[in-house]
Amino acid sequence: MPIDVLFAGIPVAELEPAIDWYERFLGRPPDMTPNRHERTWKLTDDGWIYVVEDEERAGNGLTTLIVDDLDARIAELNGRGIETGAVERLNEGTRVLMVADPEGNQIQLGELVSSGD
């Protein structure tokens, strides 16, 4: 079964405060408002995330985003008031950082690096 587009959902209890946080996290407003309970951001040509008001599931999301320069992304996030923790090296080729939104959803930022970095 071929998959053409990915939509990854992140559940929150209250949409409006989440929109503010995700706008700062992603550095821009949502790309689409499908309905009054969701906002979506296009991250790649075929990859989207959406924040959805879903009180029962709120705070239980886990999403991983792979970035090209983790250190630059950390600086951007800190500059926009998003707190970040320590970077962890999982193996010789992967560095990761975990960020939590105000609801407790976990967003892992990962960077694939060469073994010499």
Tens of pLDDT, residue by residue over 82-106, are 999 899 998 888 999 999 999 999 9
pTM exceeding the 0.95 threshold for the entire prediction = no
pLDDT averaged over the chain?
A: 94
Q: What is the pLDDT of residue 113?
A: 85
| Domain annotation covers residue 1 | no
Q: Is the pLDDT of residue 117 over 80?
A: no
d(CA 95, CA 109): 8
In CATH, what number is assigned to the domain containing residue 100? 3.10.180.10
Q: Is the pLDDT of residue 45 over 90?
A: yes
Give the burial class of 4: count Cβ atoms within 10 A of its Cβ; 0-12 exposed, 13-18 middle, 19 or more buried.
exposed
Mind listing the pLDDT tens digit for each residue in 53-64? 999 999 999 999
| Domain annotation covers residue 91 | yes
User: Of 113 and 84, which is predicted with more confidence?
Assistant: 84
Q: What is the pLDDT of residue 19?
A: 97
β-pair partners for 7: 48
CB-CB neighbours of 113 under 10 Å: 15
Q: How many domains does the chain have?
A: 1
Per-residue pLDDT averaged across 29-56, rounded? 97
Please give the residue range of the domain that contains residue 77.
6-112
For residue 39, give the amino acid letter.
Answer: R
| Domain annotation covers residue 117 | no
Per-residue pLDDT averaged across 62-67, rounded? 95
Query: In what helix (H) or strand (E) does residue 17 lie, and over which residues does it extend?
Result: helix 15-26
